């Protein structure tokens, strides 16, 4: 059985210094951007991003001492702009947790060379590990703002719409020959369900939610109806039932990928497990209701 090649301190230090410096640049740029804004919340974010940038830079300085290369690490400006876009769309908490999504593997890699760290640097090494585990996670929680709070309602609307509307389409397709009627059934059901979901979100948000119950309700209802409209679109665009269903299910899978990935970043949930459960539920519901629709069609003798 082949032995795994032992990782050297220099190899880990080179990789770590590049990653830490890259994150330092991202957080520094985000701090500068938010510092230019005049509202109170961006100022708070700027302070947190500055603290994160200082932390990452200190980690870079630690690893740089052991890196075999003396040239400065390269920074991907494209990655930098990508993280800034993610922060603008999904909020600071998501952006920070996105950058930390491989934290467990990073800590394991750092621990693998712990025995190689010189005795005089052991205290700095342990302090850096503590930063990775506690300090950065605490700062990420402090950044929760309007976007991250309401995104949970968007995700709720999307996830519920996928299973319900896909099932309605399948059941309607089993009953009717017309893809147009199938699309209309999905739109009507989506409109009714979006109102119901919005009402439930409003009631839920009234129970201690730190935000507007009206905005929460609107966010849930709109995201639900938009999902229903997106899933219904293929049925309007083609009269071929198989093609329409395939395109609609493909759209549903893409939405579920987003929902599962978002949840895995924010809550640390298992992405593949969550996606498998949601997609499996949707496909089982779709197949079951397609069969049920066919049985109802045969029993009632519907020829539409």
Structure tokens at 287: 């197949």
Q: Give the pLDDT score at 74.
A: 77
Name the nearest CA neighbour of 118 among 231, 9, 245: 9
pTM (two decimals) = 0.78
Q: Give the pLDDT score at 2.
A: 46
* pLDDT category of residue 177 using cuts at 50, 70 and 90: confident
Report the range out of 67-71, 89-93, 232-236 with the highest average pLDDT: 232-236
Domains of the chain: 9-142 (1.20.1260), 146-300 (no CATH)
Q: What is the pLDDT of residues 14-27, one digit of tens each?
A: 888 888 899 899 99
């Amino acid at each position: 059985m082949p032995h795994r090649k032992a990782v050297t301190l220099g190899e880990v230090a080179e990789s770590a210094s590049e990653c830490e410096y890259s994150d330092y640049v991202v957080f520094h740029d985000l701090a500068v951007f938010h510092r230019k804004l005049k509202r109170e919340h961006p100022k708070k974010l700027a302070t947190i991003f500055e603290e994160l940038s200082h932390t990452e830079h200190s980690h870079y300085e630690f690893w740089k001492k052991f890196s075999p290369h003396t040239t400065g690490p390269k920074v991907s400006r494209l990655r930098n702009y990508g993280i800034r876009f993610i922060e603008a769309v999904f909020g600071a908490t998501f952006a920070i947790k996105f950058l930390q999504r491989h934290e467990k593997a990073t800590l394991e890699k750092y621990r693998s060379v712990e025995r190689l760290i010189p005795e005089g640097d052991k205290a700095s090494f342990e302090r850096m590990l503590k930063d990775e585990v506690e300090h950065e996670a605490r700062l990420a929680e402090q950044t929760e703002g309007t976007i991250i709070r309401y995104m949970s309602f968007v995700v709720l609307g999307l996830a519920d719409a996928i299973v319900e509307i896909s099932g309605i389409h399948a059941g309607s397709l089993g009953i009717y020959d017309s893809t147009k009627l199938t699309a209309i059934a999905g739109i009507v059901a989506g409109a009714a369900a979006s109102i119901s979901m919005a009402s439930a979100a409003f009631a839920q948000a009234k129970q201690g939610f730190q935000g507007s119950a009206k905005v929460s309700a609107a966010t849930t209802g709109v995201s639900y109806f938009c999902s229903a409209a997106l899933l219904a679109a293929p049925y309007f665009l083609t009269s071929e039932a198989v093609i329409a269903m395939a395109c609609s299910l493909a759209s549903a899978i893409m939405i579920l990928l987003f929902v599962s990935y978002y949840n895995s970043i924010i809550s640390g949930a298992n992405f593949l497990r969550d996606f498998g459960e949601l997609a499996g539920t949707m496909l089982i519901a779709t197949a079951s209701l397609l069969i049920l629709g066919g049985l109802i069609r045969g029993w009632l003798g519907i020829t539409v």
